[in-house]
Every structure is written in C-alpha cells, then in structure tokens.
C-alpha cells in the first residue's frame, strides 16, 4: 500500500478528550475517528488490525469445532419478550420501530436470536453438541462511553453459543473454547489472566473472564502471588481462618459515642482496633430487609450476599428505611436485640471477642460485645470482599490486586434461555429435554485497544507482528532523489513478492515528519532508503527496541522475515 493512495491522518497534538494512551494513540496515528460519543470509524490501518485479530479468532474457533454464521443486528422485540429481557433491560438496550411501527432491538447480544434459530432447526440429541459463532457489531447504549474503543456504544464482538444434550458435553466444549481463548490472546501478544468471574444475571455456574492487566482496567482482579489462581474481586472466595483470642469475655457496656458514626471514628474514640469492631449494614434483599455484619476492617460483598441468599435484588437500604426498621442511623446500627430482621454475618465476625458494635440507639455503642452471648445470627458465611494479603483460596501464596480490561467472557448458561424459549430436543430415550447452553464472547475492537494500551511507548504504537496492520514501513528519505526513488520502488515490489505486507511512505514530506509518523503508527520494522541507495544498502530499524542495522537489498527480505519471527 502506498501512503499517497490511502488515508492515514496523523495528528501532532494529543486530543483533549482522550484520557488513556490507547485512545490518544489510535486517534493520533489515524487508526480510528469518532463519529459520535462511543461510535467510531475504523480507518484503513485500524481496519487492517481488526481483520488480523478476527483471522486469529476464526482460526481458533474453527479449530475448536465451532461453525461461523452471521446473525442480524435487527432483532424482533417478540424474541426478547419471550426471554423476558425486553422488560428487564433498561435504556442500555437500543430499541426502534420499523415503518409498520413494529418494535425491534439493536442487538446487544444474541442469545435470543440463536436460541430461536436452534429451536426451529434442531430436534434430536443426534444433532448435539452444536457450537455456532459470529463476528458482528453490537449496540449497547452505555451511560458513559469512555476510553475510545474500550467502552463504546457500537463495537465488534465475536459471540459464540453452544448447545448440548448433557452437562458433560457442555463442560467439554467450555474447556475447549477456554483453551481457544487462551490461544487467541497469546497470539495477540497480550499479557492476560483467565479469572473466575461472577455469572451475575447470566445464570449458570462456571464463568471466566479473560482480563488484560492494565492500570486503566475497570475490573479488579485478585490473584495469587505464587500460583495461577485469579478471580474477579466480586467472586474471589475468602478462605482465611480467624483465631479467636483466649481473653475472657467482659460484661457488656453501653457507652455514649456523641457524633461518632464511622468505624474509624468509633474505634479511635473507644481506643479499640477496627478489626475489633462489628460493621452492621441493613440491606434490601428482594422484598425484605437483612442486617449484614462484617468485621470493621472488611467490606460487605453484595454479589456474594446475593448469591448466598439466592436473591435477585440486593441493595443497601436507604437512610429512611434504616431509621424506620432499626430506629437509628447507619452509624449506630448493631445486631444486639434485633428481632424484626434476619441477621447474617461474615465468618470473621464469629472470632471477635469483647468487640464494639452500635446499640441501635442514636450515638450509643456497646463495648465487650461477644457473638453468641450477646446476639445470634441466622448464619455465618463468606460475605466479604477479599483483601490484599489474604491467603490465596487455592492455599498457595497471598492475594495481590491488579486492574484488568475484560476482553473475553465465557459462561455456562444452563437452560436459562432454552427453557424460557422452549428450545428442546428428544433425548435417546425419546424424552423431551431443554438444551443445555454455553455462551462465549470476545471483544474484538476492545482487544485491539487493549493491545494498543499494553504495547506503546512515548513515541507511539508498537504492534505485535501477528496483528500489525503492515509488516514493514518502507520510507525514502527523499523521493526527488532518483537513486532513492528507484530503489524504494524496486524494494516495494520485491518485498511484496516475497510475501511481506509493505506500507510505502511515498509522500513528498520532510524526513522528520515521515520518521515521526512511522514511530506513531508503530509497524514492527522500518526500512529507510537514504544516502547509500546507490550501493543498494538500506537501514533497517526494529520499532520495539530501536535496534538499527544496514542491510544490502539482496538480504533484505530474509533479514526482515527473521526479525518478524523473533518479535
Ligand atoms: C443487553 C444489554 C447489555 C448486555 C446484555 C444484554 C451484557 C448481556 C451479557 C452478555 C453475555 C454473553 C454472548 C457473548 C458473551 C457474553 N450486557 N450482557 O446479555 F440487552 Cl443492553 O452479553 N453474551
């Protein structure tokens, strides 16, 4: 490709509304242009990277036995009404009406469409298992689109769906696609972790997110400093064991704690440690209230609470409800004497001796509180967020936190959609059964941005050789110099004939501009045709580490192929 024939509008200055590196660089290097908030055009260079990422995904998915199809983005409302999600999703689901006033959704995901297709076409266990996938544009009306392609309102996803007669079949396909995902992200050059994730509203038990480690990631990962254990912080189980101190239980004492509300105010006022305090929070759980207790230095994990109580709605009760139900504000809540709501506590609370908790009277607390003597709970459970320094749940090493960008997500769905939409099959005994499903997503455009986030330096992007838009950037210092122009043209056709993808900068621009643009665009290898053109000698520079060498044109193709293999 000759730069004079394509469109690569590089920018000198950093766009003000781009907060993260990948967003700034993809804009400055002319890979993307914004059309509207969260809506982008993939320019020629960006499109080429997407095509390479998609090619890797297709290879791995096809290898794993999945068949590619292509579903519509326009989805009838009726399908989403059958699954119930037409009513459960809010403004994030983009909806429109056609000319006959019939309602549609713009596809945010395709469980409904694929399930309605398979229920019509598959009736017998002999046709299972079946794994279908597509690479398609998705629409989600994010409240705050940000970070360029990392959180857009229109984005490219590979989404796959598998259908099974039994659980073992799902487990097999899940594991095979899990491996395919690891291959995809490895081949894209990404430093990623597969983390145990909460299945949230998706139902199903097993689910893993593929996280690219990055400080600007929106998710927090808890991982072991010595093993490969890694979990989304919402899901990471806590296996810490708590030593109950042997000090004698002193008698309960009610103390006035004027205006002391937070754990640190109360603990410093009463000269006790935060870990000897009991933090009590009232939650609205479906249609009732629950009082949840955690140790003063811990936080309630509402996802764990929801899963433990098998509830569908869990949220902190508001101030008025708290006052109504327990007669005081949050800062004075406690479990002692509470009869009208159920009380649950995290395991750590059980080991507290002579602790402190609110007295359910404004500005009063109890000292020398001892669980089981002074209050009972319906159950102790793992209800807190894991913390750095906790033992890793797999028993190996200690937990460390990191931020991650979710680029993939695999779910065991179970029969959530097949039951709702009657996707059934006849099993080998002639009985009608709902199909068991799995679903698997990769954010394709997000993966490109994650690579840009992980591989860039102060001069610009640095593309891994597997997904670079072009293999080689061929630059003539001065196209008006006949030796240089001639050699550049000769090398352009020879390198292409040798199978290399070449971008020739044939613009009438000053050398400085060409070199700055080349560093910004970030192709893995740059060839400079300069003063020694007459001798057939060019300069070869590796973008990643800046290594330079002079090479004669006869060795050029092999030298470059060797370099690309090594990168
Ligand atoms: C919606 C909207 C947003 C959504 C969903 C539906 C996330 C939704 C979860 C998934 C699960 C899997 C198949 C590929 C892998 C991920 N955000 N999810 O279902 F209507 Cl507006 O998409 N789907």
Q: How far apart are CA 346 and CA 279, in angstroms?
A: 10
The boundaries of every CATH 3.90.960.10 domain in the chain are 253-381
Every domain of the chain with CATH number 3.30.930.10 lies at: 49-219+402-447
Q: Taking Cα atoms as reference points, which of 355, 204, 241, 240 lies closest to residue 293?
A: 355
232-254 pLDDT tens trace: 898 889 999 999 999 999 999 99
Backbone φ and ψ for 410, nearest 5 degrees, come out as -120, 140
49-219+402-447 sits in which CATH class?
alpha beta
Instruction: For ligand 1, say whether the CB of 563 is within 6 Å of any of its atoms.
Output: no
Please, are residues 176 and 129 in contact by the beta-carbon 8 Å criterion? no
**Alpha carbon 166 to chain centroid, angstroms:** 29
Q: Is the pLDDT of residue 376 over 60?
A: yes
**C-alpha span between 47 and 31 (Å, rounded):** 8
Comparing 204 with 215, which gets the higher pLDDT? 215
Tokens 């093993």 belong to residue: 227
Ligand 1 centroid to Cα of residue 562, in Å, is 42
Cα–Cα dist 284/322, whole Å:
10
Query: What is the pLDDT, as a whole number, of residue 198?
Result: 66
Helix (H, G, I), strand (E, B) or coil at 418: helix
Residue 135 scores a pLDDT above 70? yes
Q: Has residue 532 got a pLDDT over 70?
A: yes
The whole-angstrom separation of Cα 450 and Cα 464 is: 12
This prediction's pTM: 0.87
From the CB of residue 411, how many other CB atoms can be counted at a distance below 10 Å?
25
Least confident of 28-37, 205-214, 249-258, 404-413: 205-214
Q: Quick one: DSSP state of residue 189?
A: T
**Distance between Cα 439 and ligand 1 center (Å):** 10
pLDDT greater than 70 at residue 497 = yes
Strand partners, 69: none
Which residues in the chain are classed under CATH 3.40.50.800?
A: 470-566
Of the pLDDT bands very low, low, confident and very high (cuts 50, 70, 90), residue 205 is low
Give DSSP secondary structure letters for 371-391: TTTS---SEEE--B---TTSB
Which atom of ligand 1 is the closest one to the Cα of 92? 21
What superfamily would CATH give domain 253-381?
YbaK/aminoacyl-tRNA synthetase-associated domain (3.90.960.10)
> Following CA atoms 347, 353, 354, 356 in sequence, which dihedral angle do they give, to the nearest 10 degrees?
-20
Ligand 1: centre distance to CA 111 (Å) = 8
Residue 548: predicted pLDDT: 97
- Does residue 88 have its Cβ closer than 6 Å to ligand 1? no
Is 108 a pocket residue for ligand 1 (Cβ < 6 Å)?
yes
pLDDT over 80 at 206, yes or no:
no
Q: Taking the C-alpha atoms of 204, 205, 206 and 208 in order, what is their torsion angle to the nearest 10 degrees?
A: 70
Question: pLDDT digits over 294-344, tens only?
Answer: 999 999 999 999 999 999 889 999 999 999 999 999 999 999 999 999 999
Beta bridge partners of 284: 289, 315
Domain 470-566 has what CATH class? alpha beta
In the predicted structure, residue 462 carries a pLDDT above the cut 60 = yes
Query: What is the token pair recorded at 62?
Result: 């096809």
Q: Quick one: average pLDDT of 109-133?
A: 98
What spacing in Å lies between the alpha carbon of 477 and ligand 1's midpoint?
50
């Amino acid at each position: 490709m000759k730069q004079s024939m394509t469109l690569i509008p590089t920018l000198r200055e950093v766009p003000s509304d781009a907060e993260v590196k990948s967003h700034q660089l993809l804009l400055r290097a002319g890979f993307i242009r914004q059309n509207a908030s969260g809506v982008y055009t993939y320019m020629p260079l960006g499109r080429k990277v997407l095509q390479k990422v998609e090619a890797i995904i297709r290879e791995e998915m096809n290898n794993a036995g999945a068949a590619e199809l292509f579903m519509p983005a326009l989805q009838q409302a009726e399908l989403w009404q059958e699954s119930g999600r037409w009513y459960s999703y809010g403004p994030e689901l983009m909806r429109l009406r056609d000319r006959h006033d019939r309602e549609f959704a713009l596809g945010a995901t395709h469980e409904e469409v694929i399930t309605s297709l398979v229920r019509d076409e598959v009736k017998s266990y002999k046709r299972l298992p079946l794994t279908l996938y597509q690479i398609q544009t998705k629409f989600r009306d994010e409240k705050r689109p940000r970070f360029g392609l990392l959180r857009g309102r229109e984005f490219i996803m590979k989404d796959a769906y598998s259908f099974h007669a039994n659980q073992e079949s799902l487990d097999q396909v899940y594991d095979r696609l899990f491996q395919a995902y690891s291959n995809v992200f490895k081949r894209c050059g990404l430093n990623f972790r597969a983390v145990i994730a909460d299945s949230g509203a998706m139902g199903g038990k097993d689910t893993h997110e593929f996280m690219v480690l990055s400080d600007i990631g929106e998710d927090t990962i808890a991982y072991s400093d010595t093993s490969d254990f890694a979990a989304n912080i919402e899901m990471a189980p806590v296996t810490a064991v708590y030593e109950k101190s042997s000090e004698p239980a002193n008698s309960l004492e009610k103390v006035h704690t004027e205006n002391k509300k937070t754990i640190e105010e109360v603990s410093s006022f009463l000269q006790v440690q935060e870990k000897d305090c009991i933090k009590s929070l009232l939650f609205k759980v479906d249609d009732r209230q629950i009082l949840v207790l955690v140790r003063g230095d811990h936080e309630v994990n509402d996802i764990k609470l929801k899963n433990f109580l098998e509830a569908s709605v869990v949220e902190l009760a508001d101030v008025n409800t708290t006052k109504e139900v327990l007669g005081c504000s949050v800062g004075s809540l406690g479990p002692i004497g509470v009869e009208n709501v159920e009380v649950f506590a995290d395991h750590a609370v059980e080991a507290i001796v002579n602790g402190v908790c609110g007295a359910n009277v404004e500005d009063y607390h109890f000292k020398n509180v001892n669980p089981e003597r002074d209050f009972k709970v319906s159950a102790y459970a793992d209800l807190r967020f894991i913390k750095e320094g906790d033992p890793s749940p797999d028993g190996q090493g200690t937990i460390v936190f990191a931020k991650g960008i979710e680029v993939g997500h695999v779910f065991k769905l179970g029969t959530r959609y097949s039951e709702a939409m009657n996707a059934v099959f006849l099993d080998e005994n002639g009985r009608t059964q709902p199909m068991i499903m799995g679903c698997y997503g990769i954010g394709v455009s997000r993966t490109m941005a994650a690579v840009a986030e992980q591989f860039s330096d102060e001069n610009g992007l640095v593309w891994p050789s597997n997904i670079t838009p072009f293999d080689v950037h061929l630059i003539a210092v001065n196209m008006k110099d006949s030796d240089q122009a001639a050699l550049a043209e000769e090398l352009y056709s020879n390198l292409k004939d040798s199978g290399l993808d070449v971008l020739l900068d044939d613009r009438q621009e000053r050398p400085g501009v060409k070199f700055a643009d080349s560093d910004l665009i970030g192709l893995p290898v740059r060839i400079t045709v300069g003063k020694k053109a007459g001798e057939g000698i060019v300069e070869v520079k590796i973008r990643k580490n800046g290594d330079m060498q002079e090479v004669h044109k006869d060795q050029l193709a092999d030298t470059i192929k060797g370099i690309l293999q090594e990168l």
